[in-house]
Amino acid sequence: MPRHIELRVAGASPAGPGILRVTLRDPDGWPLPRVKPGAHLDLHVPGVGPRAYSLCGDPAVQDAWTVAVKREPESRGGSAWVHGLAPGDSVAASMPRCTFPLAEGAGRHVMIAGGIGVTPFLAMAPVLERAGADWTLHLLHRGALPCPADLAPFLKSGRAVAHDTAAQPRPALESLLGPHRPGLQAYCCGPTAMIESFERATATWPTGSARAEHFVPPVLPPDPDARPYTLVLAGSGASADVPAGGSMLVALRALGAKVEASCEGGICGACKLRWLEGVPVHRDRVLTPQERESHLMACVAGCASDRLVVEA
């Protein structure tokens, strides 16, 4: 069963053009669970469902979680709702998940953010600073900075570099990243076009040395090799026939499985399940090759065998 918690809005203030910075605390003032830098939080939007937002506060702060949300004209309801929050409001949330972690053992970290995509890096920056790590954040933005107060100390120290593309041409990502060398880890969070450029720039890098986090799920084309299969729940033995190209998530819910989901596009990690038998087809953007040996993302996964057994 997914675990939901109640949080209270402790503060809500502007943090750049169209951006609201929201601080959330336990209603009774208790410390909150520890989070990893790069984690995101699902806020449960009434009438809409869960929406994931990167935690942008210092993970060392144990009595508050902070998100900074830009109000999007094409909002599916989430950002508009967040912008209506005020101190004292109650918010339901799922426990934070981290699908965009800092790479352990990296000798240098280079981060590229597009606009509000800076938020996960604002949580990583103080952790890297305390560790004495070698890191640089490149922020590509247009006009006013997002989260200027959070960025200020890192801009002053030179750790963060702002590139205003309204005043100068957008720099090539290859020039910001430099050539790959042992120990270098690259990260990117921003619009789809930026992530596609980042993936092209790092296409020849070693596996795992470049990772990206998407704002919204990329378009997932139909799988031409999709085939029907039988989905089985390991605990109860209940089963359902899933048609070729059908949704595993829909089948799981039809069987009564309590599977949480947010993006439903393979980028947030909410519907991660352990698989036990069969041959899953992985189409997500978050699981590592090692994780795929035991887990799948139900929202986008398929199956290449006649039968797939999962824990749900």
Determine contact, residues 204/191, Cβ cutoff 8 Å: no
Determine contact, residues 228/222, Cβ cutoff 8 Å: no
pLDDT digits (tens, 9 = 90+) for 88-115: 999 999 999 999 999 999 999 999 999 9
pLDDT digits (tens, 9 = 90+) for 186-229: 999 999 999 999 999 999 999 999 999 987 777 889 999 999 99
Q: Which two tokens stand for residue 24?
A: 């959330």
The residues of the chain scoring below 50 in pLDDT are: 1-2
pLDDT the model gives residue 263: 85
Domain boundaries, the chain: 4-94, 108-214, 229-311
Is CATH 3.40.50.80 what the domain over 108-214 is classified as, yes or no? yes
Distance CA 55, CA 148 (A): 16
Determine contact, residues 22/54, Cβ cutoff 8 Å: no
DSSP 92: E
Relative to beta strand 184-190, strand 210-214 is parallel
Determine contact, residues 112/175, Cβ cutoff 8 Å: no
Top-level class of domain 4-94: mainly beta
Query: What b-and-e string marks burial along 15-54, b requiring 16 or more CB atoms within 10 Å of the CB?
Result: bbebbbbbbbbbeeeeebeebbbbbbbbbbbeeeebbbbb
CATH architecture of 229-311: Roll (3.10)
Q: Rounded to the nearest 5°, which phi and psi values hold at 304?
A: -105, 5
Determine contact, residues 113/121, Cβ cutoff 8 Å: yes
User: Helix (H, G, I), strand (E, B), or coil: what is residue 227?
Assistant: coil
